[in-house]
């Protein structure tokens, strides 16, 4: 099977699984793979196919089929002006909230901008008229694509039908396809060996189910299914207060939870140092959850990502917005956020011994990790631990991207504090830009004690945020800068492997030698150099009065070995 045929076969199959029963096809060469797949589905009675030679009429036919049934109807076209002729129907569908799906075939990237026939930029073709646009990658002869294609189809169907928190309406899936565009034909000569099969199974879920079953994301929602061995992963949510509702569910159901450090919840309930616990393969294999319930965006730990990709684990997501986070394309069910409240009344629904094992393991790991971190000063982890331990009651901590947020995630432990704490970060795109200004905005927006923790590159990238005119509202904010003179995060990634040291320093380490004290002096901002853990603790323990920058200098060459020591201590604690 060639790549274009494989993609078209999977897309049509998943459309049927998602509820599509009518489809409209316009003739064309680039869309030939879809023509064959649609005709096969029509012959099998899985959908009813309508063929029209005029794209404008075809689109309005699809609109008519979908208007009263409220079931999504796709219209398939070839590339070029064929797609443009769909625009009037797309506009009507947008204003009339009709679930119309446009699937346009396209030339592959290597033909874009070359003057190739029927080739134009089809990305974002319909602008704001569509509820969702997705550009597929050109299919290739390799594994790992089936789940991607199927989950994308379910996303566009959910967006078209208004399953999310937006009205129903048109969506656009653009699919670049390379030749060959027709199915492989077996050689009639019996002495010719058959072409090798596809490198992965192209099957969907069992019993004809869609790859991702999307529950209505409006209204009260249905209670979550009873799965006693459920592990909850709590990530970043739009409103920090939403974490409170998640923890209420956890307390009622009894499920263990691994939480990234964001939110306004008490930190006594999560499994301490959960990401470290997930690095212990032997222990985890004996205590593997049957279901992982993901709430919020999970962005910090590779070990968490590996758990989600484990084929022995069922992944379900509680969506707080109209879209849902699933970069590995593993989710099987999407629940509305309101399903949490509906599930609290069901009470405990957990394998009690299994849950106790998770919490006990977390406590063992916390004891081991805290000892390693305490001996590591000065390090990013020790700085994070000192800041977290000394923040005053009702403090808000903004955490910069890269190492700082991961240091907080690794260092935060229930024994550190009993007072409420709100931790926030810019995790939408998780970039380092604008963090100083964002922290200042947070400090100006709320009356409590405000702090920020960030690395030197993050600080330098937005040091203009310190430019606040004398007639402007002034923030009460303490910014702690972990200064390891460069890109410390890369020491923990593949470029930082010891055997790559020759190429590391200039293009990844990127030392600047910048003087933070001089930058602060130029902006009229108070600067303090903390040379010991005691210094830092004393400074952080004082409630912010005006804008202050606290610099702590660190040798980034220790980062990699320190993390290795944490993993080793974790494994030893669980033996």
Using only C-alpha atoms, what is the Rg of the chain? 27
Among the listed residues 272, 481, 483, 295, the one whose alpha carbon sits nearest the alpha carbon of residue 361:
272
The reply to whether omega before 24 is within 30° of 0 (cis) is no
Name the fold adopted by 375-573: Rossmann fold (3.40.50)
What is the number of H-type helices and E-type strands within the chain?
Answer: 20, 18
Scanning the structure block, which residue is given the tokens 């980062």? 559
Range(s) for CATH 3.40.50.1220 in the chain? 215-363
Helix axes 87-96, 55-67, angle to 10 degrees: 20
Among the listed residues 258, 526, 548, 282, the one whose alpha carbon sits nearest the alpha carbon of residue 410:
258
Distance CA 544, CA 397 (A): 12
What pLDDT is stored for residue 196 in this prediction?
Answer: 62
Residue 94 corresponds to which tokens in the numbers above?
A: 């947008």
Q: Which helix (H) or strand (E) holds 396?
A: strand 395-399
Distance CA 143, CA 227 (A): 31
Residue 412 corresponds to which tokens in the numbers above?
A: 């935060």
Give me the DSSP letters along 29-71: STTHHHHHHHHHHHHTTSSEEEE-S-HHHHHHHHHHHHHTT--
Range(s) for CATH 3.40.50.970 in the chain? 3-189, 375-573
Scanning the structure block, which residue is given the tokens 């320190």? 562
Residue 25 corresponds to which tokens in the numbers above?
A: 């096809």
What pLDDT is stored for residue 111 in this prediction?
Answer: 94
Max CA-CA distance within the chain?
A: 87
What pLDDT is stored for residue 165 in this prediction?
Answer: 63
Q: Could you give the 3-state DSSP secondary structure of residue 395?
A: strand
Pairing, β 100-106 against β 171-176: parallel
Scanning the structure block, which residue is given the tokens 């208004």? 162
Rounded to a whole number, what is the distance in angstroms from the first to the last CA of the chain?
Answer: 48
Specify the CATH architecture of the domain 215-363. 3-Layer(aba) Sandwich (3.40)
User: Cβ contacts of residue 279 below 8 Å, gap of 6+?
Assistant: 303, 567, 570, 571
Q: Which CATH superfamily is domain 3-189 in?
A: Thiamin diphosphate (ThDP)-binding fold, Pyr/PP domains (3.40.50.970)
What pLDDT is stored for residue 243 in this prediction?
Answer: 87
Residue 439 corresponds to which tokens in the numbers above?
A: 């922290």
Distance CA 285, CA 279 (A): 11
Scanning the structure block, which residue is given the tokens 């077996």? 186
Q: How deeply is 126 buried, as exposed, middle or buried, from its count of CB atoms within 10 A (0-12, 13-18, 19+)?
A: buried
Q: Could you give the 3-state DSSP secondary structure of residue 535?
A: helix
- Residue ranges of alpha helices (H) inside 126-261 are 146-161, 242-253
Q: How deeply is 114 buried, as exposed, middle or buried, from its count of CB atoms within 10 A (0-12, 13-18, 19+)?
A: exposed
Residue 475 corresponds to which tokens in the numbers above?
A: 């923030």
Tell me what percent of the chain is helix, strand and coil, each rounded to the nearest 5. Answer: 40, 15, 45
Tens place of pLDDT per residue across the chain (575 aa): 999 999 999 999 999 999 999 999 999 999 999 999 999 999 999 999 999 999 999 999 999 999 999 999 999 999 999 999 999 999 999 999 999 999 999 999 999 999 999 999 999 999 999 999 999 999 999 999 999 999 999 999 999 998 756 789 999 999 999 999 999 877 566 665 555 679 999 999 999 999 999 987 666 667 899 899 999 999 999 888 888 888 888 888 999 999 998 886 554 468 888 889 999 889 999 999 999 999 999 989 999 999 999 999 999 999 988 889 999 999 999 999 988 888 887 778 899 999 999 999 999 999 999 999 999 999 999 999 999 999 988 899 999 998 999 999 999 887 765 567 889 999 988 899 999 999 999 999 988 899 999 999 999 999 999 999 999 999 999 999 999 999 999 999 999 999 998 889 999 999 999 999 999 999 999 999 999 999 999 999 999 999 999 999 999 999 999 999 999 999 999 98
Residue 241 corresponds to which tokens in the numbers above?
A: 């207060």
Give me the DSSP letters along 122-134: -TTTTGGGSSEEE
Which phi-psi region, left, alpha or beta, contains residue 270 (left: φ > 0; alpha: ψ -120 to 50)? beta
Pairing, β 331-336 against β 450-455: unpaired
User: Cβ contacts of residue 458 below 8 Å, gap of 6+?
Assistant: 400, 401, 402, 404, 432, 435, 436
Distance CA 373, CA 376 (A): 5
Q: What's the predicted TM-score (pTM) here? A: 0.89
Model pLDDT for residues 139-162, shown as the tens digit of each residue: 999 999 999 999 999 999 999 998
């Amino acid at each position: 099977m060639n790549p274009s045929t494989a993609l078209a076969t999977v897309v049509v199959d998943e459309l049927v699984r998602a509820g599509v029963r009518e489809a409209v096809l316009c003739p064309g060469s680039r869309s030939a793979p879809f023509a064959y797949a649609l005709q096969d589905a029509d012959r099998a009675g899985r959908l009813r196919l309508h063929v029209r030679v005029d794209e404008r009429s075809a689109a309005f036919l699809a609109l008519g089929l979908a208007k009263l049934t409220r079931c999504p109807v796709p219209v398939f076209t070839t590339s070029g002006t064929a797609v443009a002729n769909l625009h009037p129907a797309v506009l009507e569908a947008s204003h009339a909230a009709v679930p119309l799906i446009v699937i346009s075939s396209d030339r592959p990237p290597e033909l874009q901008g070359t003057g190739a026939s029927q080739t134009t930029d089809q990305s974002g073709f319909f602008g704001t008229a569509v509820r969702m646009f997705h550009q597929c990658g050109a299919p290739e002869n390799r594994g790992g694509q089936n789940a991607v294609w199927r989950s994308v189809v379910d996303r566009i169907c959910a967006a078209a039908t208004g399953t999310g928190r937006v009205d129903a309406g048109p969506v656009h899936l653009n699919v670049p396809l390379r030749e060959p565009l027709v199915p492989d034909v077996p050689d009639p000569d019996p002495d010719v060996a058959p072409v090798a099969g596809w490198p992965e199974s192209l099957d969907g879920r069992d019993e004809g189910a869609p790859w991702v079953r999307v529950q209505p994301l409006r209204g009260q929602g249905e209670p979550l299914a009873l799965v006693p061995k459920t592990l909850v992963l709590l990530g970043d949510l739009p409103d920090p207060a939403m974490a409170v509702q998640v923890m209420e569910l956890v307390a009622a159901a009894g499920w263990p939870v691994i939480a990234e450090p964001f939110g306004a919840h008490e930190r006594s309930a999560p499994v301490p140092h959960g990401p470290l616990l997930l690095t212990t393969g032997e222990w985890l294999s004996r205590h593997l959850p049957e279901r992982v319930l993901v709430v919020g965006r999970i962005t910090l730990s590779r070990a968490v990502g590996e758990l989600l990709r484990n084929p022995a684990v069922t992944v379900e997501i509680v969506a707080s917005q109209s879209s849902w986070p699933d970069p590995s394309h593993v989710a099987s069910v999407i629940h509305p956020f309101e399903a949490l409240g509906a599930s609290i009344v069901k009470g405990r629904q957990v394998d009690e011994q299994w849950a106790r094992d998770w919490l006990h393991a977390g406590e063992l790991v916390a004891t081991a990790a805290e000892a390693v971190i305490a001996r590591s000063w000065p390090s990013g982890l020790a700085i994070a631990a000192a800041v977290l331990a000394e923040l005053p009651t009702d403090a808000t901590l903004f955490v910069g991207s890269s190492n700082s947020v991961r240091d907080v995630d690794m260092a935060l432990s229930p024994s550190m504090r009993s007072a409420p704490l709100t931790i926030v970060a810019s995790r939408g795109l998780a970039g380092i830009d604008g963090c100083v200004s964002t922290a200042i905005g947070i400090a100006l927006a709320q009356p409590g004690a405000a702090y920020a923790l960030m690395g030197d590159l993050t600080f330098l990238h937005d040091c203009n945020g310190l430019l606040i005119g004398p007639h402007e509202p002034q923030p009460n904010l303490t910014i702690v800068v972990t200064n390891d003179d460069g890109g410390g995060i890369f020491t923990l990634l593949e470029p930082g492997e010891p055997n790559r040291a020759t190429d590391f320093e200039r293009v990844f380490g990127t030392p600047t030698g910048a003087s933070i004290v001089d930058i602060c002096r130029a902006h009229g901002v108070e600067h303090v150099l903390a040379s010991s853990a005691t210094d830092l603790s004393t400074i952080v323990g004082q409630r912010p009065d005006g804008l202050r920058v606290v610099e702590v200098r660190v040798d980034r060459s220790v980062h990699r070995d320190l993390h290795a020591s944490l993993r080793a201590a974790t494994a030893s604690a669980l033996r």
